[in-house]
Amino acid sequence: MSTEFPALPYAANALEPHVSARTLEHHHGKHHKGYVDKLSNAIAGTAHEGQSLEAIITAANAASDTGIFNNAAQSWNHTFLWSSMSPTGGGEPSGPLADAIVDRFGSVQRFRDDFKAAALAQFGSGWTWLVRTDAGLDIVSTGNADTPLVHGVTPLLTLDVWEHAYYLDYQNKRDAYVDVFLSNLINWDFAAENYAAD
């Protein structure tokens, strides 16, 4: 992934009524761009300039450089988030990913229940992820900017549970926002592509 600020993969109003254009414009244009701009300033003239986002995240994590890590990881996490949602999202997974979900969780509905529980249990800011591990699939949450990229697992999709992701539309009701994600926005095609990769 590049360190450049990416366009959204759909129009800012494309996720309405589930996520408002106002939320997406702020989330993408202010929050995500803020991380990208801070990272750009921080790496200018350093060995990180020109590196991939993944390389910067790995190096900053190893060096415990939290300033670079937080902005690089938040840049990556947000780009991954936009593709984890789709205007035609929701519904059911299919193919090998669907089989793997049933193997691991028992049913797609049980996956939704477990994912929601994890998203609600994340105290404060962070992210909830479906990941592929050496043993199969798992649901994990990470705090603040932390990302599964530095934990040896492959992210398949994510939901941002920072309040800035939902407060304008859902105020403090994180559960309603998670329900809408799982019912109407989750991009199973993106998760299936990531599952099939490597």
The answer to whether residue 181 forms part of the interface with Mn ion (CB under 5 A) is: no
Q: Which stretch binds Mn ion (CB under 5 A): 15-23, 40-48, 165-173, 182-190?
A: 165-173
Q: Which stretch binds Mn ion (CB under 5 A): 18-26, 88-96, 164-172, 181-189?
A: 164-172
> Which member of 5, 76, 162, 170 binds Mn ion (CB under 5 A)?
162
Does residue 106 sit in helix, strand or coil? Answer: coil
Tokens of 164: 């800035």
Size of the site for Mn ion (CB under 5 A): 3
Nearest C-alpha neighbor of 154 from the set 125, 102, 193: 193
Integer CA distances (angstroms), 162 to 39, 78, 121, 143, in order:
19, 11, 13, 9
Sheet holding 126-133, edge to edge: 136-143, 126-133, 154-160
Residue 3 vs 93, nearer CB to Mn ion? 3
Q: What span, in angstroms and rounded, lies between the C-alpha atoms of 43 and 138?
A: 33
**CB neighbours (10 Å) of residue 97?**
21
The answer to whether residue 146 forms part of the interface with Mn ion (CB under 5 A) is: no
Residue 3 vs 84, nearer CB to Mn ion? 84
- In the complex, the smallest distance separating the C-beta of residue 164 from Mn ion, rounded to whole angstroms, is 5
The answer to whether residue 160 forms part of the interface with Mn ion (CB under 5 A) is: yes
Q: Which stretch binds Mn ion (CB under 5 A): 104-112, 127-135, 141-149, 163-171?
A: 163-171
Does residue 52 sit in helix, strand or coil? Answer: coil
Contact residues for Mn ion, defined by CB under 5 A: 160, 162, 165
